[in-house]
Amino acid sequence: MKDTRLLFREQQGSEFSFESCWLILQKCPKFMDGIRTRGSGSNAGVAGEVEKERPTGRKKAKTDLAAEIEDSKILKQLVDDNKERNSVIFAQMKRKNDLIEEQLTMDLFKTDPNSEESKTFFSFMRKKRLASIMDREAA
């Protein structure tokens, strides 16, 4: 004990004034393990427990929600843009297919323009074109 007092005086620069307390506490289980350095382990009460994840705070929850809303807006805009682009592409492809079909049909009947079938076909096509022009003007 004398060596310990001398060591304490050298390190701290003053006498150890709680010797009576130490005589009582040295027999407690907490102080019987020996000398521990600070930060060398976990607390005795928490040693067996698993560290729980902290709940999300209000500010973090709000920023997460705002980011999620922004992401959903961007995704919705992308979906709308894709739908619009697809509808334009579909209309263009339909128009192209109609033109190809019309050209093939005309090529088929160009072989003999004076035949009854050719005359019937071209008459039908004229009526169809006239009807589509009239519909466009009415709208």
Backbone angles phi, psi at 58, to 5 degrees: -65, -45
Each residue of 82-105: pLDDT tens digit? 999 999 999 999 999 989 988 887
What value does the mean pLDDT of the chain take?
82
Torsion of CA 80, 82, 85, 91, to 10 degrees: -90
- For residue 39, pLDDT over 70 is answered with no
The domain spans of the chain are: 2-32, 64-138
pLDDT band at 108; cut points 50, 70, 90: low
Say what the pLDDT of residue 42 is: 52
CA gyration radius, the chain: 46
- Taking the C-alpha atoms of residue 135 and residue 139, their distance in angstroms, rounded to an integer, is 6
